[in-house]
Structure 1
Amino acid sequence: MDFDNIARELIPLLGGKENIASAAHCATRLRLVLIDDALSDQQAIGKVEGVKGCFRNSGQMQVIFGTGVVNKVYAAFIQAAGISESSKSEAADIAARKLNPFQRIARLLSNIFVPIIPAIVASGFADGPAWGW
């Protein structure tokens, strides 16, 4: 698999170098924040060699490559695109700025309540015997 070629193939499908605001990666995905999502061709990206899937989520274009492969594609991609390395949190911050007010409120509420769900469930289990359940 030619990682440099994959990176060069992806850039025009994402709307060109000037349309890429930031790039980061996690264990399996290349996470891209684009200036204008309409300039990207999601179906064509899905047909690039090595790409296992592609979708948009929370203001990011996420291209799935798989474990181990994404590291090599990312290194080639930032070099080909001429951008600096970004952390996952930096990319998420940039993507969050693209959200509309309703999406921001929904994200805030989920960030508050999702972490306490295990505590609520555990308290329900602990309180069950007191009610004879």
Structure 2
Amino acid sequence: TTAAAHAAGTRLEHLDQALADNPVVRASVARMRIRTDAAEALLRDTIAAVESGRPDAMLRVLESKAAAGEAAADVTDLAMRVCGGAAFRKEVGVERNFRDARAAMVMAPTTDTLYDFIGRAVCGLPLF
């Protein structure tokens, strides 16, 4: 990821170590990886559900958008913290991803609306 590459390639001169030498930074990078992998796994299952015509296919589509939107927001928030002030530099590439990730949560259907739809489906209520 951009943040992982930044952490590995950035040296803290006052400590004479790479940013990635900090265990808190590595934990943040690990969290980003886990959230991304989880969203990807759900997406792969969603694709399989749609392609095979599984009864839960539409529910999986809703879940995938909600999960991916929140994962993107969480991951880019962590990336901003890992990269610090450098995250605001365009050449680092984090600031654009941070902004775009927030758009996923507010573009229709919003994440809150998706949670309502998913909750309705799980409770056996009609979606509309």
Q: Which one has a bigger Cα radius of gyration?
A: 1
TM-score, scaled relative to structure 1? 0.28
Please state which structure has a larger fraction of its residues in helix.
2
Please state which structure has a larger fraction of its residues in strand.
1
TM-score, scaled relative to structure 2? 0.29
